[in-house]
Chain A
Amino acid sequence: MTVEAGIGYALIALGPSLSLFVSVVSKKPFLILTLLSSTLLWLISLIVLSGIWRAFLPLNSTTWWPYAILIITSVGFQEGLRIFLWRVYKKLEDILDAFAERVSKPRLFLTDKMQIALAGGLGHGVAHAVFFCLSLLTPSFGPATFFNDRCPKMPFFLVSALIALAFVTIHTFSMVIAFNGYAEQNKVDQVFVPAVHMVAALMTLVNFSSGGCLVAIPLLYVMAILTLMHCGKMVWRRLTEN
């Protein structure tokens, strides 16, 4: 609508991640590098997915089930990427521990490992927000706004910003949960993350129905809050059990 509105939408989507970045990630250069590399990996995964799906485009936009298949395959691929990231992280942990021994510093603390996972998740979330929200926001810096037919109550930009915020939260904290689940061999955590991701992604299909965004967005936030709470409980448990 104006420059202020454009910046406002951008901050809705990315504000919490910005504060997380400034308070946690920017203090430790290694976390900045982790964030950048996880952003890059997420981007590469998107490119691969779009390469695969290029053959099937354009999708028939009147029915919803091609989109469901699209979402299921994409989420599956990204969860596979998460397992791959976990393997890489294990190797990295060994390298870091060896380096710590050499410079006679203590090995990685639990909080360090969680911070690395947080930075990785934040990278994913920021990449998601930039690609699915910020790329659409350029018109919002102009003089008008835009309403979608199936969501006449909220401007399109606001809807995309809110959805992006929910997904940023989900991505950031599910990485922490997932890494912890793989480290502790905790089946609940390991299943929780892909399940939440899939459910949240499929929920966005509800936006297809008229007026659906009024239902989908609160549900999405329920998932985000669920992720947050689960992550909080898990972290609290891990930190107090020592």
Chain B
Amino acid sequence: MAPNSRPTSVLDSLGEEIIRIVTPVSICMFLVVILVSVLDSSSSSPSSVSSMATIAYSETDSDSSWDKFLGALWNSLAFVAVVTVVTFVLVLLFYLRCTRFLKFYMAFSAFIVLGFLGGEIALFLIQDFSIPVDCVTFFVVLFNFAVVGVLAVFMSKMAIFVTQGYLVIIGMLVAYWFTMLPEWTTWVMLVAMALYDLAAVLLPVGPLRLLVELAISRDEDIPALVYEARPVTHSDSGHDGGVVQRRVWRERHNSAHDPAEVPITNSTVNPGLHGNSNNDSASNANGTSIANENTSPGSLSVNSVHNVTNSVAARERLSQDSEDKSELSVPLIDHRINVGSQGHEDAIPSENLALEGVGLGSSGAIKLGLGDFIFYSVLVGRAAMYDFMTVYACYLAIIAGLVLH
């Protein structure tokens, strides 16, 4: 039975986009679980990491459950307050069109995460496994690693596999760092961040909503750390005359924005405008006063930005050279990129999946904010400190949620 002699079945390509998101999330979670179980706290790690997340209360084992819960609540409130303030600052900067500053800041924060957090974890590993390496080599390697990571995330012209790999690594590092927080604080913080996300997106004064409205009114992309999967190509869809069409999913219940058809001839959307604008850096593990892990909520908040960004259904027609440009950014894909519109030029295709929280990149690829990666990995990483069955069950639940939504 020669497989090439009969037409491809529908089973071959169904669900491909979802799998392309599920795979990196799984890899990130898996790496965090491995890190947590290898760098077990049986080796004397510090009892708590002093960071922005623990300024209100540091947990000790001798406190009662209620005290711990209250302390964790205070911690989370402080953390959410800081995140809110910083997000408002971000909105202000975006409003004042300081985009370059934001991009440089993002690059700087990515460098900090990769260099310092990555360096810390590498040091733990070297300690645990007694790897013989001298400081000069270590420094040079770490520096190169961080710089390449910044370039990969910051500039879009790198091979997409490298970019994806670095995004996963950044997610893994931040998630691992979060799992080192005291226990109750971690759980309450996850809940608090979820609630904050909801509030910031849905309330009319929410900073994220303001941000998105600004971005939509200017038709700009928000600089953010976003994981973009390789776009799905359909090999039998060549009848659009060389025009790359971009779908933006319409949010079902947002009536504030009417779905206007906005033809944009010159695509200013650069998928390289990535960056994390919420990270106030200086994350020095020796516990300097404002060592904070704001990367996560920053990307978390920007992720939910895509919830509201997709409230406008727009169709873009990229010109032929932009199409080449978008092909450049996906160097391993040869075919023309056409996101399954099947020749329906005017109507929004009814196959619009209207997924919330997952958006489409400028080349039609599926996107997921890095905050989601970190959130899930922290959850699974924490579970890994107890038992592997918990990890397995949590993993399945998260994947089920990701696929179904």
Interchain CA distance A29-B230 in the complex, whole Å: 14
Kindly list the 10 A-B residue pairs having the minimum CB-CB distance in the complex, ordered from nearest. Answer: A29-B19, A100-B10, A29-B15, A30-B14, A29-B16, A30-B15, A105-B10, A40-B396, A112-B11, A33-B15
Q: Check if B393 is an interface residue, CB within 8 A of chain A.
A: yes
**0/1 per residue, A20-52, Cβ < 8 Å to B?**
000000011111110011011001000000000
How extensive is the interface on chain B, given as a class? 20 to 34
The stretch of A131-139, A214-222, A230-238 in contact with B is A131-139
Partner of A33, one of B6, B10, B19, B396: B19
Complex CA–CA separation, A126 to B19 (angstroms):
19
B11 touches A108 (CB 8 A): yes
A109 interface residue, CB < 8 Å from B? yes
Q: Which of B20, B387, B393 has most A Cβ within 10 Å?
A: B393
Chain A neighbourhood of B13, CB < 8 A:
29
Is the Cβ of A109 less than 8 Å from the Cβ of B396? no
| B7 A105 Cβ-Cβ under 8 A | yes
Say how far B131's CB is from chain A's closest CB, in angstroms: 16
B89 within 8 Å of A (CB atoms): no
**Chain B residues near A109 (CB-CB < 8 A):** 9
In the complex the two chains form, is A36's CB within 8 Å of B399's CB?
yes
Residues of chain A within 8 A (CB-CB) of B403 are: 33, 36
Contact partners of A78 in chain B: CB under 8 A: none
Query: Assuming A33-B19, A37-B400, A103-B342, is B392 touching A130 (CB within 8 A)?
Result: yes
Beyond the given A29-B16, A106-B10, please list 20 additional residue pairs across the A-B interface where CB-CB is below 8 A: A27-B12, A29-B14, A29-B20, A30-B14, A31-B11, A32-B15, A32-B22, A33-B15, A36-B399, A36-B403, A37-B400, A40-B400, A96-B11, A96-B14, A105-B7, A106-B7, A106-B9, A108-B9, A115-B11, A138-B388
Query: Which residue on chain A has the smallest CB distance to residue B399?
Result: A36
- Is B2 an interface position by the 8 A CB rule? no
A36 nearest CB across to chain B (Å):
6
Q: CA A105 – CA B342 in complex, angstroms?
A: 13
A-B contact count (CB 8 A): 69
Is residue B8 contacting chain A, with contact meaning CB distance below 8 A? Answer: yes
Taking Cβ atoms with an 8 Å cutoff, the residues of B that contact A are: 6-16, 18-20, 22, 342, 387-389, 392-393, 396-397, 399-400, 403
B369 to chain A, nearest CB (A): 22
Indicate the size class of the contact surface on chain A.
Answer: 20 to 34
Name the one of B6, B7, B10, B400 contacting A36, with C-beta atoms under 8 angstroms.
B400
Query: Given A36-B400, A40-B400, are A105 and B8 neighbors across the interface (CB < 8 Å)?
Result: yes
Complex alpha-carbon distance, A237 and B18, angstroms: 35
**In contact, B19 and A131 (Cβ under 8 angstroms):** no
Pairs A–B under 8 Å by Cβ, sample size 25: A28-B11, A29-B19, A30-B11, A32-B15, A36-B22, A36-B400, A39-B396, A40-B396, A43-B393, A96-B10, A96-B14, A103-B10, A105-B7, A106-B6, A106-B7, A108-B10, A108-B11, A109-B9, A112-B11, A115-B11, A130-B392, A131-B389, A131-B392, A135-B389, A138-B388
**Most chain B CB inside 10 Å of its own CB: which residue of A29, A116, A130:** A29
CA distance A26 to B389 in the complex (A): 24
